[in-house]
Amino acid sequence: MSKIASWIRSHWYLPLTMLLALIGVIVKTPSGEDIVNLGWDTFFTTILIMLAYTGLDKERALAPLKAFLSALRFTVSILITASLASFVLGAVIGGYAAAIMMVPITLSVLKGAEREGFSARAAALVTASAVLGSMALPSGSIANTYLAPRMEGSFISVMLPLSTAGLALACILPFALMGRRIKDEVFIHSDVDKEGSKSMRMLYVCLMIIAALTALGSFMWLDILILFLFVLIIFDRKVFLRVNWAIPLSFLFLSIFASSLGLGLDEPWTIAAASEIAGSTASSLSLSLPASAEAVRAVNIGGLGLLTGMAALGVAGRMGKGWKGFALCYLLVSIPSAAVLALVSALL
């Protein structure tokens, strides 16, 4: 029972979304058309991305990056490199996955440099950068995977101004967080992580690229799903046991709930507020379709602002007693960043 209780605590969003789905079914019994339009493409594409990300994490694909960070001489250099790496990873493997992978690596390097005092700020920076990067490609978040084929215009073109501003923020924020200690020099004495199989790591890198291109619409998700299942059943069946299946299932339950409500939001400020309060995934399912460029930008901006985003919640849950410091630092980073992005969006 204790293991079940622990699992429920760490995956609290799954029973919550199950309850919402049940309420949705009671409010409005789904028709056959409703079931067909639940967003199955997003559900299965998310599974593809989760499989690839889990494999990368299992094979310790970021061990070389940790070694590179450990070779840097200045704290600010560590933070800048970690921030930019999180931004790039956020675009490809998703903001949540990038933050979950990058925060432990960054904190481990800072611990080896005896700079634990920067831990909360570093975790907040890496998380915010991962979310900023997630705006660049459809694979960056479940919301973007869902909206990309259901919006007016090209996703990359629509989000390019915000992702460019986000990249600038990812470069600037480390200097702001360091303050007067910008010239702080370090000597790192941390252990080198054991790397996984190079061949398996390359396999998962290829699968991750294919999954990102599938989210972009370059491939049919059904064909790629069959490919993934075939390859992984042959080479690495254990990865299926490590995947956090609660994430794609939660999206499916939210889809059922949103379908029953039929909100059809189209006002950018309302969408941004909904994204801040309920998260970007929930707000994306509440939009009028096809979604306008303004609505897509609002979903992404709102998802950055508060702690309700998947990335921020995921990191906070792994910070232990330091979650309060992380939460404060994240809000100090994310709210001004969201304000900058909102200004950029308003000028378009």
Q: Is residue 279 part of a domain?
A: no
Q: What are the residues whose beta carbons fall under 8 Å from the beta carbon of 17, sequence distance 6 or more?
A: 249, 250, 253, 254, 257
- How many Cβ atoms from other residues are within 10 Å of residue 175's Cβ? 12
pLDDT band of residue 285 (cuts 50, 70, 90) is confident
Phi-psi region of 74 (alpha: psi -120 to 50; beta: other; left: phi over 0): beta
How far apart CA 277 and CA 42 sit, in angstroms, is: 22
CB 126 within 8 A of CB 86: yes
Q: Is residue 74 part of a domain?
A: yes
Q: Is residue 151 part of a domain?
A: yes
Q: Which residues pair with 333 in a beta bridge?
A: none
Entry pTM: 0.89
Query: Which pLDDT value is given to residue 86?
Result: 95
Instruction: For residues 118-133, give the mean pLDDT.
Output: 91
Average pLDDT, the chain: 85
How far apart CA 295 and CA 291 sit, in angstroms, is: 6
Least confident of 81-85, 126-130, 182-186, 213-217: 182-186
| % of the chain beyond a pLDDT of 90 | 30
How far apart CA 249 and CA 257 sit, in angstroms, is: 13
Domain count, the chain: 1
Domain range enclosing 200: 33-245+307-347
Q: Is residue 282 part of a domain?
A: no
Collapsing DSSP to helix, strand or coil, 74 comes out as: strand
- How many Cβ atoms from other residues are within 10 Å of residue 9's Cβ? 9
How far apart CA 337 and CA 331 sit, in angstroms, is: 10
How far apart CA 115 and CA 167 sit, in angstroms, is: 25
Instruction: For residues 19-30, give the mean pLDDT.
Output: 84
Query: Which pLDDT value is given to residue 31?
Result: 78
pLDDT band of residue 307 (cuts 50, 70, 90) is low
Q: Is residue 252 part of a domain?
A: no
Q: Is residue 270 part of a domain?
A: no
pLDDT of 284 above 70: yes
Q: Is residue 37 part of a domain?
A: yes
Q: Is residue 280 part of a domain?
A: no
